[in-house]
Structure 1
Amino acid sequence: MSNTAQALKSLQLRNNLPIAALAAACEQYPKPEGHLYSYGTAGFRSHSKWFEPVVFRVGVIAALRSKRHSSKFIGVMITASHNPEDDNGVKIVDPRGEMLQTEWEPYCTKIANAPDPASFITALDDLCTKFKIDVSKRSKVVYAYDTRPSCPALVKALQLGLAAMETETINEGVRTTPQLHYMTRALNTQGTKDDYGEPSIPGYYKKLSSAWKRLIRRREEGSLLIDCANGVGAIAMKELLEYLSDDFKATLVNTDVFVPGVLNNMCGADYVKTKQELPPSLKGVLKAGQRGCSLDGDADRLMYYYLDEKNIFHMLDGDKISALIAGYLVEKVKLCGFKEPPRVGVVQTAYANGNSTKYMQKTKALPLVCVSTGVKHLHHAAEKFGIGVYFEANGHGTVLFSSDTLENIRKHEPQTPTQDDNTKDLKALIDLINSTVGDAISDMLLVEVILNHLRYDARAWDSLYTDLPNKLVKVNVKNRADFQTEVAERRLTHPAELQRFVDSQVAKYPDGRGFIRPSGTEDAVRVYAEAASKFEAEQLANYLAGWTYDFGGMDPAQRPKEYLR
Structure 2
Amino acid sequence: MITASHNPPADNGVKLIDPLGEMLESSWEAYGTALANAESDQAVYDYYTQLEQKFNVNKDVVPQVIYGSDTRESSPALVQALKDALDAVGVKSQGFGAVTTPQLHYVVRCLNTQGTDDAYGEPTLEGYYQKISTAFNQLMANKLNGSVTVDCANGVGGPKLRELKKYLNGSIDITITNDDTETFSKLNSESGADYVKTGQRLPPSVSAQPLARYASLDGDADRIVYYYVDKNSVFHLLDGDKIATLAASFIGDLIHQSGITDFSIGVVQTAYANGSSTAYIEKLGLPTVCTPTGVKHLHHAALAYDCGVYFEANGHGTVLFSPTALKRIFAHEPKNPAQDTTLTHLKNITELINQTVGDALSDLLLVEVILAHKEWTPDLWDACYTDLPNKLEKAEVADRNIYKTTDAERKLTHPVGLQEQIDALVGKYDQARSFVRPSGTENVVRVYAEAATKSEADELAQKVKALLS
Q: What residue is the counterpart of 2:210 in the other structure?
A: 288
Please say if residues 217 and 452 of structure 1, whose CA atoms lie closer than 8 Å, have aligned partners that are also in contact.
no
Q: Which amino acid aligns with 2:259?
A: G
* 1:538 paired to 2:462: no
Q: 1:305-354, CA deviations, whole angstroms, 9 ceiling, x for partnerless residues?
A: 0111111111100001111111111111100102x332010000000001
Asked if residue 439 in structure 1 is aligned to residue 363 in structure 2, the reply is no
**CA shift at 1:217, angstroms?**
4.5
Q: Does 1:353 align with 2:283?
A: no
Q: TM-score, normalised by structure 2?
A: 0.98
Distance in 2 of aligned mates of 1:127 and 1:447? 43
| SS, match of residue 15 in structure 2 | strand
Aligned equivalents of 2:54 and 2:29: distance in 1?
A: 13
Match of 2:234 in 1: 312
Is 2:257–2:339's contact at 8 Å kept on the other side of the alignment? Answer: yes
SS, match of residue 224 in structure 1: strand
Aligned equivalents of 1:118 and 1:496: distance in 2? 42
Determine whether 1:492 maps to 2:417. no
Q: Is the 8 A contact 1:218 1:452 kept in 2?
A: no
State whether residues 191 and 203 of structure 2, in contact with CA within 8 Å, keep that contact through their aligned partners in structure 1.
yes
Moved over 3 A (4+): none
> What is the alpha-carbon distance in structure 2 between the residues aligned to residue 546 and residue 523 of structure 1?
17
* Aligned mates of 2:60, 2:355 — CA distance in 1: 33
Q: Contact 2:145 / 2:172 at 8 angstroms: preserved in 1?
A: no
**Are residue 163 (structure 1) and residue 87 (structure 2) matched?**
yes
The letter for the 2-side match of 1:168 is: K
Q: CA deviation at 1:418?
A: 1.2
Q: Secondary structure at the match of 2:233?
A: coil
What one-letter code is carried by the residue in structure 2 that aligns with 1:322? A
C-alpha distance in structure 2 between counterparts of 1:467 and 1:439, whole Å: 24
2:57 to 118, 133, 138: 133
1:310 maps to amino acid: N
Which letter maps to 2:61?
K
Contact conserved, 1:344 with 1:367, CA < 8 A, in 2?
yes
Letter in 2 for 1:528: Y
Aligned to 1:556: none
1:306 match: secondary structure: strand
Matched position secondary structure for 2:121: coil
8 Å CA contact 1:217, 1:453 repeated in 2: no
- Does structure 2 conserve the Cα–Cα contact (< 8 Å) formed by 1:474 and 1:525? yes
The letter of the residue matching 1:342 is: F
Distance apart, 1:411 and its partner CA: 1.4
Within a 5 Å distance, the mapping from 1:394-543 to structure 2 comes to 394-543=314-463
Deviations 1:536-563 (A, max 9, x none): 00000111000122xxxxxxxxxxxxxx
CA contact (8 A) 2:145 2:371 kept: no
Secondary structure of residue in 2 paired with 1:304: strand
Conserved 8 A contact 1:231-1:296: yes
Aligned-pair CA distance for 1:131: 1.6
The sequence identity of aligned pairs, in percent, is 52
Q: Deviations over 1:495-516 (max 9, x none)?
A: 2311111111111111101111
Q: Give the C-alpha shift of residue 220 in structure 1.
A: 2.6
1:216-255 equivalences in 2 (<5 Å): 216-220=140-144, 222-255=146-179
Contact 1:317 1:395 in 2 (8 A): yes
The one-letter code of the counterpart of 2:272 is Y
Task: Name stretches of at least 5 consecutive residues in structure 1 with no aligned partner.
Answer: 1-76, 550-565
Paired residues in the alignment total 469
Q: What is the alpha-carbon distance in structure 2 between the residues aligned to residue 444 and residue 190 of structure 1? A: 27
Q: Which has the larger radius of gyration?
A: 1
Equivalent in 118, 123, 142 of residue 199 of structure 1: 123
Give 2:181's match in structure 1, choosing from 238, 245, 257. Answer: 257
Asked if structure 2 preserves the Cα contact closer than 8 Å seen for 1:230 and 1:255, the reply is yes
Q: 1:332 aligns with which of 251, 254, 272?
A: 254
Matches of 1:484 and 1:117, distance apart in 2? 34
Distance 2:381 2:240 in 1: 13
Letter in 1 for 2:293: T
Aligned-partner SS, 1:123: helix
Cα pair 1:288 1:311 within 8 Å, conserved? yes
Q: How far apart in 2 are the matches of 1:508 and 1:496?
A: 21
Aligned residue for 1:548, secondary structure, equals: coil
Task: Using the TM superposition, give the Cα deviation of residue 88 of structure 1 relative to its aligned residue in structure 2, in angstroms.
Answer: 0.6
Shift of 1:219: 4.1
Structure-1 separation of matches of 2:460 and 2:427: 10
SS state of the match for residue 384, structure 2? coil
Alpha-carbon separation, structure 1, partners of 2:85 and 2:63: 12
AA aligned to 1:316 is L
